Amino acid sequence: MNEPLLMNGQEVSKAIKAKLEGDVATLRNQGVIPKLVTVLVGDDLSSHTYVRMKANACERIGIVSEQVLLPTETSTTDLIQTIQRLNEDNSVHGILLQHPVPSHIDERLAFDTITLSKDVDGVTSQGFGSTAFQLNAYPCCTPAAIMKMLDYYDIDVEGKHAVVIGRSPILGKPVSMMLLNRHATVTVSHSKTERLGDIVQQADIVVAAVGKPNFVQGEWLKPGAIVLDAGYNKGNVGDCDYETCYQQASAITPVPGGVGPVTIAILLRNTVIAAQNLTR
């Protein structure tokens, strides 16, 4: 097997961010400072790391970011009040509620409290529905990053069999809709799926979004499959067993340096567009 194409997330991320610099400058000249607020409930260490990375990325490009850190025992009502306050704050253009929230909180209700015009993370039911029907909404960041990666490397999914592993509200489900909209044949698999290896064997494109480190085995892959690893596990390992998948794939995203950096670039882009739209 030839060496696979390495899809370089840093490079794709840079290309997206380069286009944003002018937009941020224009907004600032108009007296508008784009602002993203991230809301994080609880003290999960890696969640804090991701939120900090998002804040740093904002800062580097001239987006103001604020972090709202709430204690683990925050109630759904309190979280909703926090989000409502951000909805009404005219200085805020984007709101991101970090997933997952502690299990006693109604995450769907909390997501759906975010006003559509500030849903730069595409997590609301309306945002999802709009994505599915190709209406105007901010796309969910990691799914959009996966599609961006495919576009950047000129990978056409039309007619291809895409197997998505995972069905989370911010990854598996929305990316399945996006692939379907590009005329892929989409199989969505999940923790209850039987004979997953047999299903993955039939995939031209594999999107791994399960949250299990090194889960997808190279031997499951059809030779020449395209592998997008959207996993983010402790220790910076993806959902794919990289060494063995690398042997089989024709194109693959590494972790780190793959889908992750592009996710953040999409978040920045969505926030800049939200600032433009809200101040028009």
Mask: binding to ligand GUE, 46-85, rule CB under 6 A, as x and -? Answer: ---xx--x--------------------------------
Closer Cβ to ligand GUE, 218 or 260, answer by number: 260
Q: CA-CA distance, 19 to 143, in Å (whole number)?
A: 20
Is 148 catalytic? The answer is no
Candidates 45-53, 66-74, 189-197, 213-221; binding stretch for ligand GUE (CB under 6 A): 45-53
251 phi and psi, to 5 degrees? -155, 145
**Distance from C-alpha of 255 to C-alpha of 250, rounded to nearest angstrom:** 16
Of the two residues 122 and 218, which places its CB atom closer to ligand GUE in the complex?
A: 122
Q: How far is the CB of 5 from ligand GUE (least distance, A)?
A: 18
Neighbour-count burial of 136, counting CB atoms closer than 10 A to its CB (0-12 exposed, 13-18 middle, 19+ buried): exposed
Rounded to whole angstroms, the Cα distance separating 217 from 136 reads: 37
Could you say whether residue 264 binds ligand GUE (CB under 6 A)?
Answer: yes
User: Count of residues for the chain?
Assistant: 280
To ligand GUE, the closest distance from the beta carbon of 201 in angstroms equals 27
Report in angstroms how near the CB of residue 264 gets to ligand GUE at its nearest: 5
The distance from CA 100 to its chain's CA centroid, rounded to whole angstroms, is 13
The residue (of 49 and 202) whose beta carbon lies closer to ligand GUE is 49
Shortest gap between Cβ of 258 and ligand GUE (angstroms)?
Answer: 6
Given the residues 35, 112, 118, 121, select the one marked as catalytic: 121
124 binds ligand GUE (CB under 6 A): no
DSSP code per residue over 166-190: ---TTTHHHHHHHHHHTT-EEEEE-
Tokens coding 231: 């996993």
Q: Which residues are annotated as a binding site?
A: 166-168
Active site (catalytic) residues: 54, 98, 121
